[in-house]
Amino acid sequence: MNPPDDSPPLIELVNLTKTYGHGDAAFQALRGINLTIRDGEFVAIMGPSGSGKSTLMNLLGCLDTPTTGSYRYQGIPVENLDNDRRSLLRRHALGFIFQGFNLLARTSAIENVELPLLYRGLTRSERHEKAAAALASVGLADKHRNTPAEMSGGQQQRVAIARAIVTEPDTLFADEPTGNLDTATTREVMELLTRLNLDHGITVILVTHEDEVAAYAKRVIHVRDGLIASDKINHRNLILSS
């Protein structure tokens, strides 16, 4: 179900810009982004290479800071936070999934999932319990002791998703999460992300260049030349038409 239009914004960007370099070498990756995302949305961000979509994702995920403009997350002015406070925001409110999985190669699935919890001050048994529950929620209850080398690409991405949700984030950022997966596994991963959005109310913000992947989102934003070229509700997203 789409969030009500009058709900307070989870994310609000006003005239957001990002410039890299100085003087003649300066490059303006974002040229004034105005965007509102509400709690519980599933948003896909698309655009050609160099469009600014990855820069926008980094700013939304508090991995970078804007040059000018305002970014509010749950009303918090993110652009005014120092590095430590941005780190706390990422740790407690945001989850991340990447194309390359970013798992520790010689570490078991459950230990990979436990990693974000090490910063929470939880006991070993508490970390283990939460990580086991997260693995079960992505269909890997029987893969606790497997290392990445002992799992398929799709299973590795599920471990990465479990690691991203083990802290119970409000928002899940997925940067080309299916880029290394085949068609069937892509469908499995996207259905999992859809269920996390629908059943658990996690806001999902996805960067992709694939129309087939964006089709799972309820809203599709196209970025071009550092600006939002279009922002449309996807009335025929795959979960509704299935």
Going from N- to C-terminal start, the domains of the chain cover 41-63+83-241
CATH 3.40.470.10 is the classification of domain 41-63+83-241: no
CA distances to 16, 24, 49, 66 from 20, in Å: 14, 11, 16, 10
Q: Are 10 and 74 in contact (CB under 8 A)?
A: yes
pLDDT computed for residue 4 by the predictor: 47
pLDDT computed for residue 198 by the predictor: 94
pLDDT computed for residue 218 by the predictor: 95
The low-confidence residues of the chain, meaning pLDDT below 70, are: 1-7, 238-242
89's tokens? 């925001």
pLDDT computed for residue 122 by the predictor: 87
pLDDT computed for residue 240 by the predictor: 46
pLDDT computed for residue 137 by the predictor: 93
Q: Which residue has the tokens 């990756």?
A: 29
pLDDT computed for residue 239 by the predictor: 62
Return the beta strands (E) in the chain as ranges.
Answer: 9-20, 27-38, 42-46, 68-73, 76-77, 94-98, 171-175, 203-207, 219-224, 227-233
Radius of gyration (Cα) for the chain, nearest Å? 18
Q: What does DSSP say about strands 171-175 and 94-98: parallel, antiparallel, or unpaired?
A: parallel
